[in-house]
Chains A and B, each alone.
Chain A
């Protein structure tokens, strides 16, 4: 139901990571155009990015982050061949994770 595409590139001692996560990111504030019913909230609340055993970035989100979230960040270190992992938990308790190899 969900997947993450991650691109990680090492350059000059730093690694730049870009990720695209498939997720509806419903705020819980929108109404269905036809039925008028409120569309239930369904959004990623927490996300963690790791390189080796180290946490590089933690995030807390609201439903104000766009559908199919894009995220990019940068850190010191990382070499081609190292693994990057991104994992998330949403408000319904669902989780997702993806890994990529630094190029």
Chain B
């Protein structure tokens, strides 16, 4: 309870620059900076449950303005490079999901004010299937999917 309040305060002070000062002094580690790691979302066994826990809804609209790049055939399923980029304005977070994995939620990136809506990451894939990118704005979730073929499970 107290901890939750403290996080809210920390988040609130982000824009005011107080947090920056604290970080500059080397007082904070990532664990205390972030909205805490979302245990519910990361323990979900299906993408819908994960997205609801992480982003509040699993309703997402496919968008041609959201681009996901991945190899058609993964040489190494334990290291599949995924690039996500979008022209959509006001993107706050980018999330990568592999629906065929035991833990479908792979990564979520919260973009600071200066960050472009662009991330590259490498992920493990348990089986052939889609990799899905979700871009969150203040109003909606947009999605794009790319099928990736794997020959041997990378998990």
* Min CB–CB distance A2 → chain B (angstroms): 14
Residue numbers in B under 8 Å from A67 (CB-CB): 78-79
Residues of B within 8 A of A70 (CB): 81, 120-122
A71 closest partner in B (C-beta): B121
Residue total for B at the interface (Cβ-Cβ under 8 A): 44
| Contact digits for A42-72, partner B, Cβ 8 Å, 1 yes 0 no | 0001111011111111111111111101111
Chain A residues, CB < 8 A from B17: 53
Binds A, one of B1-9, B58-66, B106-114, B133-141: B106-114
User: Does A65 lie within 8 Å of B107, measured CB to CB?
Assistant: yes
Cβ-defined contact, A61 with B106, below 8 A: yes
Interface size on A, residues (CB 8 A): 40
A103 within 8 A of B: no
CA distance A50 to B34 in the complex (A): 13
| B38–A60 touching, CB < 8 Å | yes
Contact of A87 with B by CB under 8 A:
yes
Residues of B within 8 A of A50 (CB): 23
Total A-B Cβ pairs within 8 A: 133
Known contacts A70-B122, A71-B120; decide if A59 and B106 are in contact (CB<8 Å): no
Inter-chain contacts of B150 with A (CB < 8 A) = none
Whether A72 touches B119, Cβ cut-off 8 Å, given contacts A54-B112, A60-B37, A62-B107, is yes
Q: How far is the CB of B153 from chain A (nearest CB, A)?
A: 10
Question: A1-46: which have CB < 8 Å to B?
Answer: 14, 18, 27, 29-30, 45-46
- Chain A proximity of B10: nearest CB distance (Å): 11
Give B111's nearest chain A residue, CB to CB. A57
The 4 closest A-B pairs by CB, nearest first: A53-B20, A72-B120, A66-B122, A58-B110
What are 18 A-B contacts with C-beta separation under 8 Å?
A47-B30, A53-B17, A54-B113, A55-B14, A55-B19, A55-B23, A55-B33, A57-B112, A57-B115, A58-B33, A60-B110, A64-B155, A66-B78, A70-B120, A73-B115, A75-B114, A76-B115, A76-B116
Listed in ascending order, the chain B residues whose CB lies under 8 Å from chain A are 14, 17, 19-21, 23-24, 29-31, 33-34, 37-38, 42, 78-81, 98, 101-103, 105-116, 118-124, 154-155
